[in-house]
Structure 1
Amino acid sequence: MPNSYFSNPLMFLIETLFQLYMYIVAVRLLLPLIRTPFTHPLIQTIIRITEPLCAPLRSFMPRSRKFDSAVFLLLVLVTLVKLTLLLSLAGAWPAISGLVLLTAAELFSLFISLFTVTIIIEVLLSWLAPQGYNPVASLIQAINAPLLEPVRRRMPLLGGIDLSPLVVILGLQVLSMLVMPLLLGPVYPQY
């Protein structure tokens, strides 16, 4: 049996599990920037999931009101471990500078996809449950507010339809198309 028989499913599992945890840590990193109380049940769950790995890092990392450097370091370390595992299973290993650029690209892509997905979920929830309280909806709205509110203030409603989510998603995709080749170019010249 070829080596990829077991390595492909293993790579899929590593990619999926690490990506889910990275999303959780990324949301934890955004918590000081959003206006949702830390008593929110989903925020409490996020803190419980991430705190066992953040606590040791916090002992030597500075923390400010708006930025938790221990959470950022955890996100970088988890990304490095994920990339190291995937690259070793693929039989490839870039230079240290390549690994740094891959990590930066992975983190940038993580936040682009996080905001894109949460904006889509916010739109879907506004259609499905427009008036009812939903704890998931309130957290997602708080995450997206820094991106959506400036666009909403400048853009009029067209026939009662808010097109700001579409504008922000298009902007995120264009930003990704501009930045990702700069990050991945030295690592993967064919892009």
Structure 2
Amino acid sequence: MYSDPFTMLVKVICNLYLFIVLLRLVLQLTRADFYNPISQGVVRATSPLILPLRKIIPAIGRLDTASLVLAFAVQLLTVALVVLIKGVSLSPAGYAIYTIAGTFYHLLDLYFWAMLISVILSWVAPGASHPGAMLVGQITAPLYRACQRVIPTLGGLDLSPIFIFLTISFLKQILGPYSL
């Protein structure tokens, strides 16, 4: 998969932190339970970098722009480190494209996995009260509601996850060449 183990290690570490930052952004957008233990862990992991940014960058409505800026900064750092390790050159426009597209690719990836977990939980443990299950439900509920406005359930069968997966997969195919 990767020709250079050091590059893979840098990508894994940076993308893991990017995932945590994006999770914080999504948790705030969906107004998920702040007192959930997983939410508290995400807040603790991201607060040292987000709190100073909040003093400079105000929120726009429900959108925590400090989290978004941090996500772009982490992705830019990932791109810069990979470019440095590989020894290739990239124009400023290239950095911008890889940063923006890569961040949105990873956001789609986060939603893909949340949807997958949600679907599996609906089969295995519907209505589970585990903090992780409740958090996944709170993250995916807005997607389900938006899709169900367009595609109604058919005799108790909810087809919205299929269309959400198709949409996420389509968008990931478009952004895939620009993700690291």
Identity of aligned residues (%): 34
Distance 1:167 1:105 in 2: 22
* Alpha-carbon distance, 1:175 to partner: 3.0
2:103 maps to 107
Distance 2:146 2:135 in 1: 18
Q: Which has the higher contact order (CA 8 A, sep 6+)?
A: 2
Matches within 5 A, 1:76-155: 76-155=72-151
Distance 2:43 2:19 in 1: 13
Choose which of 12, 16, 38 in structure 2 pairs with 1:16. Answer: 12
Distance 1:52 1:105 in 2: 25
Q: Report the 3-state secondary structure (helix = DSSP H, G, I; strand = E; otherwise coil) of the residue aligned with 1:93.
A: coil
1:180 maps to 175
* Alpha-carbon distance, 1:143 to partner: 1.1
* Alpha-carbon distance, 1:162 to partner: 2.0
Distance 1:52 1:152 in 2: 38
The number of aligned residues is 177
Choose which of 163, 168, 174 in structure 2 pairs with 1:167. Answer: 163
1:4 maps to none
User: Would the alpha carbon gap of residues 123 and 95 (structure 1) be closer, same or farther in structure 2, given more than 3 Å must change?
Assistant: same
Let me know the Cα RMSD of the aligned residues.
Answer: 2.1
Unpaired segments ≥5 residues, structure 2: none
TM-score, normalised with respect to structure 2: 0.88
* Alpha-carbon distance, 1:57 to partner: 1.6
Unpaired segments ≥5 residues, structure 1: 1-6, 185-191
Partners of 1:32 and 1:65 within 8 A in 2: no
After superposition, give the CA deviation of every residue in 1:54-73 in whole Å (9 maximum; x if it has no partner).
Answer: 12222211124412221111
Distance 2:161 2:41 in 1: 27
Distance 2:78 2:171 in 1: 24
